[in-house]
Amino acid sequence: MFERRLAGRRLVDALAAVASRYEPAARKEKLRLLDALAGRRVGRPGSLARLHEALCFLQAYPDDPEVLERVDRALAEFPRRVARLRAVARRRLHDSGIANTTLDYPFGFPMARWLATRFPHDCEVAWARFVDTERLDETLSLLATAAEGDAFSEGGMGWRAWLGVAKGGRPMTDLQLLLEVFERTGLPEETRDWLYESLALPVVWRPRGVGASRTLARVPPARVFFHADGLERRVASLVDALARPLPPLRRAPRALAEALIEAAHVAMATRQRELHAFSYPNPDDVLLVDVDRGVRLAFVGILPGFRLPLEGYYAFLALKNGIPVAYGGGWELFGTLDFAVNVFASFRQGESAFLATELLRAYRRIFGMRTIVVDRYQLGHESAEALRSGAFYFYHRLGFRPRDPAVLRVLEAEQSKIAADRSYRSPIPILKRLAGAEVYLALPGGHREPEKRLRATDVSGLIARLIARDFGGDRGVAVRESTARARRELGVTGWTAWPTAERRAFAQLSLVAALIGDLETWPSVERRRLVRVFRAKGRGSERTYANLLDSHRWLRRSLEALVT
C-alpha cells in the first residue's frame, strides 16, 4: 500500500513539473503520466490538490486534442476521487474550492443570496464558527416587528429559537430565512447590504456538480486553442502594443452575459473572494473582446444604482479556452486608468504577460486612457499574495515605472545585484519597499506627473468640506439644494420624465457641480454637455458615461483648479 501511495505521489509530482513544458518529449511524458494516473488512487490530500492544479492548468493550456481529452476525463473523475477520501483527509482540502470539498467564508449579501438561490441544499450558516451572537440578537430585534422585540431581550427565546419559529414550518435553511428577513427590511439596498455584511456570518458551502466548483468550471469556447508550439511568454513593449490597432469590442447577448456573470460568481466564491462589480453586475452592460490564443475577456459593468460616484469602472473575467484564469478591474477618470489584474494561482505558469497586455489593449478600446496606474496594494503593499508572486517585477517587465525617489533608489540597487548575479532574487523585505508607491505607464498624451493627477478621492474631500461649510453638515439638504441649483444653472427641462436612475445619478453628481462657483457663466453648449454626462451615469452603459466625462475639459479644468 505504501509503495502504491509513493508511486502515485511521484506521478503527480512529475506531471506538475512537466505541465508547463511544451516540447514534443514533454507532450509524450504528459500523456504517459495522465494514463498512469487514470484510476490510480491518490490518497494524500496534498498530492491530490497538486494533481488538481496541474489538470486545471492543462485544461486551460492543452498541448493538443489528445492531451485535452485525457485532462477532461481526469477532471470529470475528480469529484469521485475526493468522495473516496477518508473524512479526515477530505477535511484537509477544506477551502480549496475543489469539487466535493467544503469551504466557508463570510460572504456579503449579494454573494450569499446567489449561493442560497443557486445551491439551496449545499450551503448554510456555519454556526459553529460564528461568535458574535449578541450582535445578531440586536440586529434581528431591529429587523423584526416591534411586537416581537421581547423575543430577543433578556429571558426571551433568543435568536436561535426565533429562527425556527420564523420559518413557520417552511422547508428552508437558516441562511435562506436570514436572507429573506434582510430582503424585506425596506432599507435602501446599500444600507441593507452593509448591515448584513457587518454580521460577518460565515457561510459553509460544498461545491459539487457541473459548474459548481473550480474543478468543473468552464464556459464552452467556440474553439479550443492548442499549444503545440509552446506558451507565449515574450514581453513586448506595452506602449507599442497599445498603439497597434485595438481589438474589436462587442456587447454580449443577454444569455451569454448571464453565463459569464455566473462563471465569475463561481470563480470568485470557490476562491473565497468577492468583487463589487460581480456582486452588482449589469447583464445589459457586459462587453466582450476575443483575442488570439483562445483568450476571451468579459468586462462587466455595474447596475446604475451601485456605480462608483465619479469614476467609470468595468471589472473583468479573463477566460482561456473557456476556463476562468484571472479577474480584476479598471477604474478610469479623465484619461487615467487604475488597473488591477489577479491571475489565479493555478495559471501563473501560463501566459500572464500576454494576458495583461491584451487586457490593457481592451481597456484602451473601452476608455481610451492615456495614463495607466497600478496601485501599491497590487504590488505587494499589505498583500502577501502579491509579494509572493513577485508582482512588482511583473509590472516592471511590462514597462511600468515608479516615480517615488525612495522606491527608485531601492530599485536601482536591486537592478545592480541582478546584473551581477542572474540567480539573485529580491527578498520579501525588499519587495515590500518596492511596493511602497504606485507605478505608472504613460502613453502619448498621458499625464506628465501622474502622481499629481486629479483623483476621485480629491473630489470627495472637496464635497465633504462643502457640505460642512455651506449646509451645516446636513447631507439631505445638500443634495436637494445642489440638485435644484444644478437644474437651474444647467437649464434642465423635463426632469420629471427622466428615468429614476438618471434622476438619481444627476442628484448625486449635482454635488460635484456645486463645487464650481461659475457654473452659470459656462457656455451653453458646455452646460448641455455636462447634463449629458450626469444623466449618462444612470444609463445602461458606463462606457458612454466615462467617454463623455473624459471629453468634458471644462469640468476637468474646473476641478483641477480646486485641488491644486
Note whether 537 and 545 are within 8 A (CB). yes
Residues 538 and 520 in one domain: yes
Residue 500 cell numbers, joined: 429614476
Query: What whole-number distance in Å separates Cα of residue 218 and Cα of residue 526?
Result: 47
The proportion of the chain whose per-residue pLDDT surpasses 70, expressed as a percent, equals 99
Are residues 406 and 343 located together in one domain of the fold? no
Range of the domain at 404: 371-442
User: Does residue 564 surpass a pLDDT of 90?
Assistant: no
Give burial (CB, 10 Å; 0-12/13-18/19+) of 473: exposed
Q: Grid coordinates standing for 8?
A: 502515485
Phi, psi of 125 (to 5 degrees): -70, 130
* Range 136-162 burial, b when 16+ CB lie within 10 A, else e: bbebbbebbeeebeebbeeeeebbeeb
Query: What tens digit of pLDDT does each residue of 112-126 get?
Result: 999 999 999 999 999
- Same domain, yes or no: 401 and 469: no
Q: Residue 340 forms beta bridges with which residues?
A: 329
Question: Is residue 499, in this structure, part of any structural domain at all?
Answer: yes
Could you please report the per-residue DSSP string of 106-132? ---HHHHHHHHHHSTTTEEE-GGG---
- The alpha carbons of the chain give a radius of gyration, in whole angstroms, of 26
Specify if 217 maps to a domain.
no
Is position 216 within any domain?
A: no
Does residue 348 sit in the same domain as residue 249? yes
In a domain, 96, yes or no: no
In a domain, 210, yes or no: no
Q: Is the pTM of this model over 0.85?
A: yes
What is the average pLDDT score of the chain? 95
Final residue of a structural domain among 312, 340, 362 = 362
The one-letter amino acid code at 192 reads R
Q: What pLDDT shows up at residue 149?
A: 83
Residues 21 and 147 in one domain: no
**Residues 346 and 431 placed together within one structural domain of the fold:** no
Q: Which amino acid is at 541?
A: S
Where a domain ends, among 442, 466, 501? 442
Which pLDDT does position 5 carry in this prediction? 54
Q: How far apart are CA 143 and CA 141, in angstroms?
A: 6
Beta strands in 198-294 (DSSP E): 203-205, 250-251, 281-290
215 falls within a domain: no
Determine the pLDDT at residue 3: 44
β 371-374/336-343 pair status:
parallel
Tell me the C-alpha distance between 252 and 256, whole Å: 6
Average pLDDT over residues 271-284: 97
Report residue 8's pLDDT band, with 50, 70 and 90 as the boundaries: confident
Predicted confidence at residue 1, as pLDDT, reads 44
**Residues 34 and 126 both lie in one domain:** no
Residues 480 and 379 in one domain: no
Same domain? For 306 and 260 the reply is yes
Q: 50: how many CB neighbours lie within 10 A of its CB? A: 17
Residue 4: pLDDT band (50, 70, 90) is low
In a domain, 448, yes or no: no
Here the cell at position 391 is 508582482
Instruction: Give the tens place of pLDDT for each residue, 224-256.
Output: 999 999 999 988 899 999 999 999 999 999 999
Count how many domains the chain has. 5
Please say if the pLDDT value at position 352 is more than 60.
yes
Same domain, 334 and 438: no
Asked if residue 460 and residue 488 are part of one domain, the reply reads yes
Least confident residue range of 140-154, 233-247, 378-392, 470-484: 140-154
Same domain, 392 and 519: no
CA dist 507 and 479 (Å) reads: 6
- Does 418 reside within a domain? yes
Of 380, 409, 442, the position where a domain reaches its end is: 442
